[in-house]
Amino acid sequence: MADKDRVERLLASMTLEEKLGQLNMIDAGAPPMGEPEMERQVAAGRIGSLLNIHGAERLNRLQKMAVDNRLKIPLIFGLDVLHGHRTIFPLPIAETCAFDPGLWERTARAAVEETSRAAVTLTFAPMLDVCRDPRWGRIAEGPGEDTLVTSRYAEAKVRGFQGTDLRDGVAATAKHMGAYGAVAAGRDYGSADISERQLAEVYLPPFEAAVKAGVAAVMPSFNDVAGIPATAHGEILNDLLRTRWGFDGIVVSDYTAVVELIAHGVAGDIAEASALALKSGVDIDMQDEAYVRGLPDALKRGLVTMGDIDRAVRRMLTLKERLGLLDDTYRRTSAPPLPANHYDALARDAARRSAVLLKNEKSVLPLKPGTRRIAVIGPLGDDPLQMFGCWFAAAGMDSATIVRGLRAALPQTEILHEIGAHIEEPGETGIAAAVAAARSADVVILCVGEKKEMTGEAQGRGRLELPGSQRALAEAVLAVGKPTVAILCAGRPLTVPWLFERADAALAAWFLGSEAGHGIADVLTGAWSPSGKLSVTWPHDVGQIPIFYSHRATGRPAVPDVYYCNRHTDLPIEPQFHFGHGLSYTRFAVTKLNATPAEISGDQSVTIEAEVANEGGVAGEETLFLFLRDPVASVARPVLELKDFAKAVLKPGERKTVRFTLARNDLAFLGRDLKPRVEPGEFQIFVGANADRSKLTATAIRYR
């Protein structure tokens, strides 16, 4: 609980300039006023928080300047810790493929241990933008296409970052609210012109989950939602977030988003922009000094009141109080240092759990013991910087590459390496050497994909093929005819049907972080039976986008060879890989699906059980998905909706019962009035290994 009196006493003693200072967040790596002036303003209490900065020594020096001021209010230091700080864990799109909330929490906690020692007290994570369009570069930073998975991810990350007491954690930011993942054509910063239903059903629930988990901050997105920029969206930020959900933390704008309200065309000048953002619920203005420059004028013009300003300042001071900064400002940085390799084992475990085995034919994987020579070919085979993907603030320059991982795992095997081609730059001069290496090897590991710089913010791509000369390289190497495993390192699904057709095996390795190569080697050698499952549907072709499993039914469903039906004439109906797809080295079978009671009413719940058996020869982990369909409702429901997922860890020959509970709420949907309702009737229940409906086992229940 925050000490309210203390916050009120502070507030009462502040001048307008000092109040605006608390709302002013500046990028310490690129301060608009220059560094000396930034330091002067910190000392004068004109800046309340800094971002893009870490490291105890420098930060403590700045902190001292701030607390030497008459008000003694410490700074908050913010940083994007999307998937680790010094130890980098898999990108969020990858880590969600582990379908493991415990892991998601552990990696966030590990990041806190590292960031808080570096004086950081606020992270701009987790990123909770549901995304069904892999053209959008920021799909890499988020948990994929599904609302329930994103909500579970939200809860786990907030728990991990914040712990049970903010004084021992780092404040988390649920971002970017809302519907940022729906920007048109995947072009960053564009419009998300979506229905209120989609907003409420698909894009906003993860933010509600974060609020329920106690998230300390929320960041509105850069885009507009059907004409209203999120930074000026009072209905979302005030009415929904604060009033209906009871959020009591800070809302921090995205980078220069307040001034951008002018460019959006909803504010005429900086006074109007800052008034609009503040009135709409944005407390902290990131980087452009819009509040400092615009709010004094806005006050004079009557666009805001001192009460509006005080409300935002109060929230910022309360957060500082909750973080323990007012009492023991330097406590986090005085914790004993962690050894450099402290989280390596966790990072390796996260990496191998996040890789998704997409294809494995002719038993090319796991690699046979005693393999004499392996050729690792491609620009992503041995480039330590590339394994991080976007956001890796304090990672240094090193990571375990695939070559390094294989050399460590297979000391008796000769591991050759040829780059063959650069990731983006054209040029085919390296291909001949790559082909020669492939010819001389028993197995080829082809490491292709995107540059880490092609993932994340402002990295929309209109084509999702391999960039540069990588296709020419891959085709030349495949033509050699050796057993070939394609490893795709990328921040999004790539549309390479020709590669999936011709390679014997394919692994989605995303960007797996500091221990990428060791985690991948664990999978390739069979030290770990792959268990990752796609958190996003993988298209064959850009023309299929948006493609996601929970689409609505149509009057004319897609059926091969039917003329008037819901399909493209020149593309397959099905995706390349379904949501949830992911192979292992063993075989799992799901049987004995049972729902009891089969008929419920009122607040009763249903227990759903299914038996999963390991029918193969090695131990493994299987994730089972529980989907629901409401076949007749007053608003058409999706053909499948994920309601839960669970794991079974099984030895060869072992079988286990997996149990789920469906509560009344799980049967609810938003009616025509967008209010939740449950309608009586039949509900179909599906359990299985992925969202391929033809392979799910089914039963049904009735709600009376």
Q: What are phi and psi of 57, to 5 degrees?
A: -65, -55
Closer to ligand BGC at the Cβ: 75 or 403? 75
Q: Is residue 272 close enough to count as binding ligand BGC by CB under 6 A?
A: no
What whole-number distance in Å separates Cα of residue 421 and Cα of residue 174? 39
Q: Does 254 bind ligand BGC (CB under 6 A)?
A: yes
* For ligand BGC, the closer CB: 30 or 335: 30
Integer Cα distance of 428 and 441 in angstroms:
21
Q: Is 129 in the site for ligand BGC (CB under 6 A)?
A: no
- Which CB, 189 or 588, lies closer to ligand BGC? 189
CA atoms of 537 and 531, how far apart (whole Å): 17
**297 belongs to the binding site for ligand BGC (CB under 6 A):** no
The residue written with tokens 């004086």 in the block is 119
Strand order in the sheet with 697-703: 599-600, 697-703, 681-688, 620-629, 641-650
**Nearer to ligand BGC among residue 288 and residue 321 (C-beta):** 288
Helix axes 306-322, 290-300, angle to 10 degrees: 150
Minimum distance between the CB of residue 255 and ligand BGC, rounded to whole angstroms? Answer: 4
Residues 292 and 304: their CA atoms lie apart, in Å, by: 13
Closest CA to 535 of 672, 397, 380, 642: 642
Residue 586 C-beta: closest distance to ligand BGC, Å: 39
CB of 388 to ligand BGC, least distance (A): 16
Assess whether the previous peptide bond of 597 is cis (omega < 30° from 0): yes
Q: Does 124 bind ligand BGC (CB under 6 A)?
A: yes
Write out the catalytic residue numbers. 254
With binding defined as CB under 6 A, does residue 28 bind ligand BGC? no
What is the smallest separation between the CB atom of 600 and ligand BGC, expressed in angstroms? 43
Which residue shows structure tokens 């994340």? 456
Token output for 396: 């240094």
Q: Which is nearer to ligand BGC, 86 or 175 (CB)?
A: 175
Site string for ligand BGC, 167-206 (x = CB under 6 A): --------x-------------------------------
Looking at residue 201, the DSSP 8-state letter turns out to be: I
Residue 154 CA neighbour count, 13 Å, CB half? 32
Indicate the residue among 177 and 639 with the shorter CB distance to ligand BGC: 177
- Which CB sits closer to ligand BGC, 254 or 383? 254
**DSSP per-residue letters across 322-376:** HTTTTT-TTTGGGSPPPPTTTTHHHHHHHHHHH-EEEEE-TT--SPPTT--EEEE
Determine the Cα–Cα distance for residues 558 and 547; give it in Å rounded to an integer: 13
Instruction: Pick the binder of ligand BGC from 7, 28, 42, 51 (CB under 6 A).
Output: 51
Q: How far is the CB of 120 from ligand BGC (least distance, A)?
A: 12
255 binds ligand BGC (CB under 6 A): yes
CB of 173 to ligand BGC, least distance (A): 7
Q: Judge contact between 552 and 638, C-beta under 8 A.
A: yes
Q: What is the Cα–Cα distance from 337 to 114, expressed in whole angstroms?
A: 9
Q: Which residue has the tokens 């892999």?
A: 134
Contacts of 517 (CB under 8 A, 6+ apart): 387, 399, 400, 401, 402, 403, 404, 405, 406, 408
Would you say 82 or 626 has its CB closer to ligand BGC? 82
Residue 457 in contact with ligand BGC, rule: CB under 6 A? yes
The distance of closest approach from Cβ of residue 142 to ligand BGC in the complex, given in angstroms and rounded to an integer, is 10
CB of 251 to ligand BGC, least distance (A): 13
φ and ψ at residue 192, rounded to 5 degrees: -110, 90
CB of 311 to ligand BGC, least distance (A): 23
Task: DSSP for 590-650, please give it.
Answer: EEEEEEESSEE-TT--EEEEEEEEE-SSS-EEEEEEEEEE-SS-SSPPBS-EEEEEEEEEE
- How far apart, in Å, are the Cα atoms of 110 and each of 23, 149, 211, 392, 407? 29, 21, 22, 14, 27
Q: Report the C-alpha gap between 155 and 126 in whole angstroms.
A: 9
Nearer Cβ to ligand BGC (51/496): 51
Among candidate residues 257, 254, 178, 253, the one with its CA nearest the CA of residue 210: 178
Place of tokens 């109080």: 321
Chain positions 386 to 445 lying near ligand BGC, rule: CB under 6 A, are none
User: Which residue of the chain is nearest ligand BGC when measured via CB?
Assistant: 124
- For the CB of residue 25, give the shortest distance to ligand BGC in the complex, in Å: 9
523, 542 in Cβ contact below 8 A? no
Cβ nearer to ligand BGC, comparing 391 with 510: 391
Closer residue to ligand BGC, CB minimum distance, 274 or 459:
459
Site size toward ligand BGC (CB under 6 A) is: 8
Print the binding letters for residues 69-108 with ligand BGC: x by CB under 6 A, - otherwise. -----------x----------------------------
Q: How far is the CB of 457 from ligand BGC (least distance, A)?
A: 5
Q: Give the interface with ligand BGC as residue ranges (CB under 6 A).
A: 51-52, 80, 124, 175, 254-255, 457
